[in-house]
Chains A and B, each alone.
Chain A
Amino acid sequence: MASKPVNRPLSPHLSIWKWGPHMTVSIAHRVTGSGMATVGSILLVAWLASAAAGEEAYGVFRGLFTTADGGLNIVGYVLGIGLTLSFFQHMASGVRHLVLDTGAGYELKRNKMGAQATFAFSILATLAFWAFLTVGK
Protein backbone atom coordinates (compact mmCIF):
# COMPACT_ATOMS: atom_id res chain seq x y z
CA MET A 1 0.00 0.00 0.00
CA ALA A 2 2.77 2.43 0.94
CA SER A 3 4.32 3.07 -2.43
CA LYS A 4 7.92 4.25 -2.55
CA PRO A 5 8.25 7.71 -4.12
CA VAL A 6 10.07 7.45 -7.43
CA ASN A 7 11.25 10.52 -9.32
CA ARG A 8 9.91 9.69 -12.73
CA PRO A 9 9.19 12.52 -15.17
CA LEU A 10 5.56 13.63 -15.05
CA SER A 11 3.48 14.45 -18.09
CA PRO A 12 2.69 18.18 -18.17
CA HIS A 13 -0.98 17.69 -17.26
CA LEU A 14 -1.61 21.12 -15.72
CA SER A 15 0.73 23.50 -17.50
CA ILE A 16 -0.23 22.70 -21.10
CA TRP A 17 -3.93 23.57 -20.83
CA LYS A 18 -5.43 27.02 -21.19
CA TRP A 19 -7.19 27.75 -17.91
CA GLY A 20 -11.00 27.80 -18.20
CA PRO A 21 -14.11 28.00 -15.98
CA HIS A 22 -14.49 24.19 -16.01
CA MET A 23 -11.14 23.92 -14.21
CA THR A 24 -12.06 26.59 -11.66
CA VAL A 25 -15.40 24.92 -10.91
CA SER A 26 -13.67 21.56 -10.51
CA ILE A 27 -11.14 22.76 -7.95
CA ALA A 28 -13.83 24.87 -6.24
CA HIS A 29 -15.88 21.69 -5.82
CA ARG A 30 -12.99 20.06 -3.95
CA VAL A 31 -12.13 23.13 -1.88
CA THR A 32 -15.74 23.79 -0.82
CA GLY A 33 -16.36 20.09 -0.14
CA SER A 34 -13.21 19.72 1.94
CA GLY A 35 -13.98 22.95 3.80
CA MET A 36 -17.51 21.89 4.71
CA ALA A 37 -16.34 18.36 5.60
CA THR A 38 -13.85 19.75 8.14
CA VAL A 39 -14.88 23.20 9.41
CA GLY A 40 -18.58 22.72 8.64
CA SER A 41 -18.93 19.27 10.18
CA ILE A 42 -17.08 20.27 13.36
CA LEU A 43 -19.34 23.34 13.76
CA LEU A 44 -22.48 21.29 13.06
CA VAL A 45 -21.55 18.66 15.66
CA ALA A 46 -20.53 21.34 18.19
CA TRP A 47 -23.85 23.15 17.64
CA LEU A 48 -25.89 19.95 18.20
CA ALA A 49 -23.77 18.74 21.13
CA SER A 50 -23.90 22.10 22.90
CA ALA A 51 -27.70 22.25 22.47
CA ALA A 52 -27.96 18.71 23.87
CA ALA A 53 -25.70 19.62 26.80
CA GLY A 54 -28.04 22.40 27.92
CA GLU A 55 -28.67 26.12 27.92
CA GLU A 56 -25.32 27.12 29.45
CA ALA A 57 -23.20 25.13 26.96
CA TYR A 58 -25.34 26.39 24.08
CA GLY A 59 -24.79 29.95 25.28
CA VAL A 60 -21.01 29.42 25.21
CA PHE A 61 -21.20 28.04 21.66
CA ARG A 62 -23.46 30.88 20.53
CA GLY A 63 -21.24 33.46 22.23
CA LEU A 64 -18.33 32.51 19.96
CA PHE A 65 -20.18 33.88 16.94
CA THR A 66 -22.36 36.67 18.34
CA THR A 67 -21.94 40.07 19.95
CA ALA A 68 -23.54 41.05 23.26
CA ASP A 69 -26.72 42.33 21.55
CA GLY A 70 -27.28 38.98 19.81
CA GLY A 71 -26.10 39.91 16.30
CA LEU A 72 -23.35 38.04 14.50
CA ASN A 73 -19.75 39.09 15.14
CA ILE A 74 -16.97 39.00 12.54
CA VAL A 75 -16.27 35.28 13.14
CA GLY A 76 -19.96 34.51 12.76
CA TYR A 77 -20.20 36.42 9.49
CA VAL A 78 -17.01 34.94 7.99
CA LEU A 79 -17.97 31.36 8.88
CA GLY A 80 -21.66 31.83 8.11
CA ILE A 81 -21.18 33.45 4.69
CA GLY A 82 -18.21 31.18 3.89
CA LEU A 83 -20.16 28.02 4.67
CA THR A 84 -23.36 29.08 2.88
CA LEU A 85 -21.37 30.16 -0.21
CA SER A 86 -19.46 26.84 -0.06
CA PHE A 87 -22.71 24.92 0.30
CA PHE A 88 -24.46 26.59 -2.65
CA GLN A 89 -21.35 26.31 -4.84
CA HIS A 90 -20.82 22.62 -3.95
CA MET A 91 -24.53 21.95 -4.50
CA ALA A 92 -24.56 23.64 -7.92
CA SER A 93 -21.39 21.97 -9.15
CA GLY A 94 -22.60 18.69 -7.63
CA VAL A 95 -25.79 18.85 -9.67
CA ARG A 96 -23.62 19.73 -12.68
CA HIS A 97 -21.54 16.60 -11.93
CA LEU A 98 -24.71 14.47 -11.95
CA VAL A 99 -25.65 15.91 -15.36
CA LEU A 100 -22.12 15.32 -16.71
CA ASP A 101 -22.29 11.72 -15.37
CA THR A 102 -25.09 11.05 -17.85
CA GLY A 103 -22.75 12.07 -20.68
CA ALA A 104 -24.52 15.37 -21.34
CA GLY A 105 -23.10 18.89 -21.38
CA TYR A 106 -19.60 18.29 -22.76
CA GLU A 107 -19.97 20.51 -25.84
CA LEU A 108 -17.46 23.34 -25.41
CA LYS A 109 -19.97 26.17 -25.25
CA ARG A 110 -22.50 24.42 -22.99
CA ASN A 111 -19.78 23.09 -20.73
CA LYS A 112 -18.40 26.59 -20.21
CA MET A 113 -21.88 28.03 -19.64
CA GLY A 114 -22.71 25.31 -17.11
CA ALA A 115 -19.49 25.99 -15.20
CA GLN A 116 -20.16 29.73 -15.10
CA ALA A 117 -23.79 29.11 -14.09
CA THR A 118 -22.67 27.33 -10.89
CA PHE A 119 -20.82 30.47 -9.75
CA ALA A 120 -23.72 32.75 -10.67
CA PHE A 121 -26.12 30.49 -8.75
CA SER A 122 -23.99 30.20 -5.63
CA ILE A 123 -23.40 33.96 -5.37
CA LEU A 124 -27.09 34.80 -5.96
CA ALA A 125 -28.34 32.08 -3.57
CA THR A 126 -25.92 33.23 -0.84
CA LEU A 127 -27.03 36.85 -1.29
CA ALA A 128 -30.70 35.80 -1.20
CA PHE A 129 -30.20 33.66 1.94
CA TRP A 130 -28.44 36.44 3.87
CA ALA A 131 -30.82 39.12 2.61
CA PHE A 132 -33.69 37.02 3.96
CA LEU A 133 -31.92 36.48 7.31
CA THR A 134 -30.89 40.10 7.86
CA VAL A 135 -33.57 42.17 6.10
CA GLY A 136 -36.45 39.86 5.24
CA LYS A 137 -37.21 38.69 8.76
Chain B
Amino acid sequence: MRTSIGRVRGLGSAKEGAHHWWTHRLTAGSNLLLMLWFIASIAMLPGYDYATIQSWLSSPWAAVPMALLIVSVFMHFKLGLQVVIEDYSHAESRVVLLVLLNLFVVAAGATAIFSILKLAFAAGAVS
Protein backbone atom coordinates (compact mmCIF):
# COMPACT_ATOMS: atom_id res chain seq x y z
CA MET B 1 0.00 0.00 0.00
CA ARG B 2 2.50 2.62 -1.17
CA THR B 3 2.06 5.15 -3.89
CA SER B 4 4.36 4.73 -6.88
CA ILE B 5 6.00 8.13 -6.28
CA GLY B 6 6.67 7.13 -2.67
CA ARG B 7 8.29 3.88 -3.83
CA VAL B 8 10.49 5.65 -6.37
CA ARG B 9 11.70 8.24 -3.89
CA GLY B 10 12.22 5.65 -1.15
CA LEU B 11 11.90 8.32 1.50
CA GLY B 12 10.12 8.36 4.84
CA SER B 13 11.47 7.95 8.34
CA ALA B 14 11.49 4.17 8.67
CA LYS B 15 10.39 3.25 5.09
CA GLU B 16 7.72 0.89 6.39
CA GLY B 17 5.08 3.13 7.96
CA ALA B 18 2.63 2.65 5.10
CA HIS B 19 2.55 -1.11 5.67
CA HIS B 20 1.91 -0.67 9.41
CA TRP B 21 -0.86 1.84 8.68
CA TRP B 22 -2.51 -0.31 6.00
CA THR B 23 -2.35 -3.55 8.04
CA HIS B 24 -3.92 -1.67 10.95
CA ARG B 25 -6.86 -0.67 8.69
CA LEU B 26 -7.26 -4.14 7.17
CA THR B 27 -7.36 -5.78 10.60
CA ALA B 28 -9.77 -3.07 11.78
CA GLY B 29 -12.17 -4.30 9.07
CA SER B 30 -11.73 -7.98 9.90
CA ASN B 31 -11.99 -7.20 13.64
CA LEU B 32 -15.29 -5.44 13.02
CA LEU B 33 -16.80 -8.55 11.41
CA LEU B 34 -15.25 -11.10 13.77
CA MET B 35 -15.93 -9.19 17.00
CA LEU B 36 -19.56 -8.55 16.03
CA TRP B 37 -19.88 -12.31 15.40
CA PHE B 38 -18.24 -12.97 18.80
CA ILE B 39 -20.42 -10.50 20.74
CA ALA B 40 -23.57 -11.85 19.08
CA SER B 41 -22.54 -15.47 19.72
CA ILE B 42 -21.77 -14.76 23.38
CA ALA B 43 -25.13 -13.02 23.79
CA MET B 44 -26.99 -15.93 22.16
CA LEU B 45 -25.32 -18.73 24.17
CA PRO B 46 -27.83 -20.49 26.45
CA GLY B 47 -25.36 -20.40 29.38
CA TYR B 48 -21.72 -19.87 30.33
CA ASP B 49 -21.00 -23.15 32.14
CA TYR B 50 -18.23 -25.51 31.05
CA ALA B 51 -20.44 -27.88 29.05
CA THR B 52 -21.96 -25.06 26.99
CA ILE B 53 -18.64 -23.36 26.20
CA GLN B 54 -16.93 -26.70 25.45
CA SER B 55 -19.65 -27.87 23.06
CA TRP B 56 -19.84 -24.42 21.42
CA LEU B 57 -16.08 -24.27 20.71
CA SER B 58 -15.99 -27.89 19.56
CA SER B 59 -17.98 -26.88 16.48
CA PRO B 60 -15.88 -25.75 13.49
CA TRP B 61 -18.44 -22.97 12.99
CA ALA B 62 -17.21 -21.47 16.27
CA ALA B 63 -13.59 -22.69 16.40
CA VAL B 64 -12.55 -21.37 12.96
CA PRO B 65 -13.88 -17.81 13.39
CA MET B 66 -12.54 -17.81 16.95
CA ALA B 67 -9.02 -18.68 15.72
CA LEU B 68 -9.32 -16.06 12.97
CA LEU B 69 -10.46 -13.55 15.59
CA ILE B 70 -7.34 -14.23 17.69
CA VAL B 71 -5.04 -13.66 14.68
CA SER B 72 -6.86 -10.51 13.55
CA VAL B 73 -7.35 -8.94 16.99
CA PHE B 74 -3.82 -9.73 18.17
CA MET B 75 -2.24 -8.29 15.00
CA HIS B 76 -4.38 -5.18 15.39
CA PHE B 77 -3.61 -4.55 19.05
CA LYS B 78 0.08 -5.27 18.50
CA LEU B 79 0.16 -2.46 15.92
CA GLY B 80 -1.91 -0.18 18.16
CA LEU B 81 0.08 -0.69 21.35
CA GLN B 82 3.28 -0.25 19.33
CA VAL B 83 2.13 3.26 18.36
CA VAL B 84 1.16 4.06 21.96
CA ILE B 85 4.59 2.92 23.20
CA GLU B 86 6.39 4.87 20.47
CA ASP B 87 4.43 8.00 21.37
CA TYR B 88 4.78 7.98 25.15
CA SER B 89 7.93 5.98 25.90
CA HIS B 90 11.47 7.04 25.08
CA ALA B 91 15.07 5.81 25.18
CA GLU B 92 15.77 2.40 26.72
CA SER B 93 12.30 1.82 28.19
CA ARG B 94 10.82 2.09 24.70
CA VAL B 95 13.00 -0.77 23.41
CA VAL B 96 12.22 -2.92 26.45
CA LEU B 97 8.46 -2.30 26.14
CA LEU B 98 8.45 -3.04 22.39
CA VAL B 99 10.29 -6.33 22.93
CA LEU B 100 7.90 -7.28 25.76
CA LEU B 101 4.92 -6.37 23.57
CA ASN B 102 6.11 -8.70 20.80
CA LEU B 103 6.76 -11.53 23.25
CA PHE B 104 3.33 -11.06 24.86
CA VAL B 105 1.46 -11.00 21.56
CA VAL B 106 3.13 -14.17 20.27
CA ALA B 107 2.92 -16.09 23.57
CA ALA B 108 -0.68 -15.12 24.37
CA GLY B 109 -1.82 -15.59 20.77
CA ALA B 110 -0.23 -19.05 20.52
CA THR B 111 -1.81 -20.08 23.84
CA ALA B 112 -5.23 -18.92 22.66
CA ILE B 113 -5.02 -20.74 19.33
CA PHE B 114 -3.70 -23.93 20.96
CA SER B 115 -6.62 -23.81 23.42
CA ILE B 116 -9.17 -23.37 20.63
CA LEU B 117 -7.67 -26.25 18.61
CA LYS B 118 -7.53 -28.50 21.68
CA LEU B 119 -11.23 -27.90 22.40
CA ALA B 120 -12.14 -28.41 18.75
CA PHE B 121 -10.11 -31.58 18.19
CA ALA B 122 -10.61 -33.21 21.61
CA ALA B 123 -14.38 -33.16 21.12
CA GLY B 124 -14.07 -35.21 17.95
CA ALA B 125 -11.64 -37.70 19.52
CA VAL B 126 -13.86 -38.54 22.50
CA SER B 127 -17.17 -39.19 20.80
Where chain B touches its partner, the secondary structure class is: helix
Give Cα A49–Cα B31 distance, bound, in whole angstroms: 21
Q: Count of chain B residues with Cβ under 8 Å from any Cβ of A?
A: 34
Q: Is B35 an interface residue (CB 8 A)?
A: yes
Number of A-B contacts (CB under 8 A): 80
Instruction: Label chain A's interface by main secondary structure.
Output: helix
What are the residues of chain B within 8 A of A52 when measuring CB–CB? 114-116, 118-119
Chain B residues, CB < 8 A from A48: 57, 66, 111-112, 115-116, 119
Q: Quick check: is B103 within 8 A (CB to CB) of the other chain?
A: no
**What residues make up the interface of A, taking CB atoms closer than 8 Å to B?**
1-5, 30, 33-34, 36-38, 41-42, 44-45, 48-49, 51-52, 55, 58-59, 62, 84, 87, 91, 94-95, 97-98, 101, 129, 132-133
Top 8 A-B pairs, shortest CB-CB distance: A52-B115, A37-B77, A48-B115, A52-B118, A55-B50, A58-B50, A49-B115, A45-B112
B residues neighboring A (CB under 8 Å): 25, 28-29, 31-32, 35, 39, 43, 48-50, 53-54, 57, 66, 73-74, 77, 80-81, 84, 90-92, 94-95, 108, 111-112, 114-116, 118-119
